[in-house]
Amino acid sequence: MTTIDSSPDTSGDSTIGRLLAADVDWLTSSDHKKIGRMFVGAGLLGLLATIVTNLLIAIERVDGGAAAFDSDSWAQLLGTQRVGLVFAVLLPLAMAMCVALVPLQVGARSIVFPRLAFAGFWMWLGGAIVTVVALVNNGGSLGGDSDMVDLFIVGLGLMALGLLASAGSVATTILTTRAPGMTMRRVPPSTGSALVFSLGIVLVMPVFVGTLTYL
């Protein structure tokens, strides 16, 4: 082949290959910024689902005539609203900010135990999916299907363990990998808030998981 010959057209294959490689990189990355973005994306999806649930509840309450949902469906909507707002929106979005920003604020090269934070995200996401499946099949806290109620408890436990893993990684990063000369008095206020949040998760979630195990 001379210098003016055109190379074979492999743009299609290379584009597909690059897309697949990018997807695999995101799904297996231990980069704290990517983990934080995945938490944000999943948390926003949870926010959208919670908004839809609240709209359905509002429609039911506004309609003064015949009920739009039976008693089982109404109980699952209320359970979805409560669980979704806390475990699918507030906690993952707060965790996303902690995982993505804390290493940058304390001058660390990366988050401590990045694989633990990565595993925490997937445990939380898997638990969220299991919880949704249980709620759809009448298995919430007021559910009538005992098997789905057990599945609902398992889903909550997975979400709690995932948040616990990520919170432990964040707290350890703040306490052990600060830049030289950065004492706890010199860390940004948001980092101090992240430490309080992470330690709160570390203290509360084991008790929560123990209670679920008892149930």
Structure tokens at 154: 């398992």
- Is the distance from CB of 97 to CB of 194 less than 8 angstroms? yes
Q: Which of 27, 30, 55 is nearest to 41 (CA)?
A: 27
Q: From first to last of its 215 residues, what are the pLDDT tens digits of the chain?
A: 443 433 444 444 578 777 777 667 777 788 899 999 999 999 999 999 999 999 888 887 776 555 666 677 788 888 888 899 999 999 999 999 999 999 999 998 889 999 999 999 999 999 999 999 998 888 877 777 888 989 999 999 999 999 999 999 999 999 999 999 888 889 999 999 999 999 999 999 999 999 999 88
| Radius of gyration, CA atoms only, the chain | 22
> What is the full DSSP assignment across 46-115?
HHHHHHHHHHHHHHHHH--SS-SS-HHHHHHHHHHHHHIIIIIIIHHHHHHHHHHHHHHHHT-SS-SSHH
| 12 Cβ contact list (under 8 Å, min separation 6) | none
Residue 184 carries which DSSP code?
A: T
Quote the pTM value: 0.84
